[in-house]
Homo-oligomer: A and B are copies of this chain.
Amino acid sequence: MLKLTKKADYGLMALKYLAEHPETPALSAKDVADAYVIPAQLLAKILQLLTKSGLLRSHAGMNGGYALARDARQISAYEVIHAIDGPFFITSCTKGTKSCELTPSCTIKEPLARVNETIAGVLKSISIQDLAESEPPPGRAREAQALVALTL
């Protein structure tokens, strides 16, 4: 409940890894899969998704692999998750496609949709670059650049 999939995790990890190695022209799926210890074939499919979404550029053949399509600072965590897991909604009852039918049930959904947007906003404000940077010095914390207002 309310957790992102391993695929999305893997995708974020992979992008972070690519962001940390800007010098290399391309890294193969296997390279990344070895660096972390995730199954190579699975990672490959994830990277393919990210390529289709325009976040990565791929190059087949020997010495091929993947590279970031844009600057790491221009890629948000939201885009990655969206590319891998599709559009995400907090509510099971995604209003729009007459899912809640007759029942006037979904009075809850209205305020929860705001929460949904808030979370999306937070995710959009985080870039791959942020992920790649924020780890080495344990004490140092980058100052808040994301400030999100929630109105019910």
Contacts and interface: CB of A to CB of B under 8 A. Distances in A.
Contacts of A108: 9, 12-13, 16, 131
Contacts of A152: 126, 130, 133-134, 141-142, 144-146
A148 interface: yes
A125 to B, nearest CB: 7
Interface string A1-13: 1111110110011
A111 interface: yes
A118 interface: yes
A42 to B, nearest CB: 13
B150 A4 contact: no
A126 to B, nearest CB: 7
A90 interface: yes
A143 interface: yes
Interface residues of A, number: 57
A69 interface: no
A90 B4 contact: yes
Contacts of A88: 1-3
Contacts of A145: 152
10 contacts: A1-B5, A3-B88, A3-B90, A36-B103, A77-B115, A115-B123, A119-B119, A122-B148, A130-B152, A145-B152
